[in-house]
Amino acid sequence: MQLKIALGQMDVQVGKPEQNWQTVVEMAQDAAAHRADILVLPELWSTGYDLANAAAHAIPLDQGIFTRTAALARDHRLHILGSCLSLLGENQFGNTAAWFDPQGKIAAAYSKIHLFRLMAEEQFLTAGNHLTTLDTPWGKAGVAICYDLRFPEQFRAYALAGAVMTFLPSEWPHPRLAHWQTLLRGRAIENQMFMIACNRVGQSGETRFFGHSCIIDPWGEIVIEGDETPQLLVATIDTTLVDTVRAKIPVFADRRVDVY
Catalytic residue among 146, 171, 198, 214: 146
146 catalytic per annotation: yes
Backbone Cα Rg of the chain: 17
Catalytic residue among 43, 84, 171, 214: 43
What residues are paired with 157 via a beta bridge? none
- Report the C-alpha gap between 197 and 82 in whole angstroms: 10
Catalytic residue among 112, 121, 171, 198: 112
248 catalytic per annotation: no
How crowded is residue 72: how many other Cβ atoms within 10 Å of its Cβ? 21
- Report the C-alpha gap between 61 and 157 in whole angstroms: 26
84 catalytic per annotation: no
Q: Is 99 left (phi over 0), alpha (psi -120 to 50) or beta?
A: beta
Active site residues: 43, 112, 146
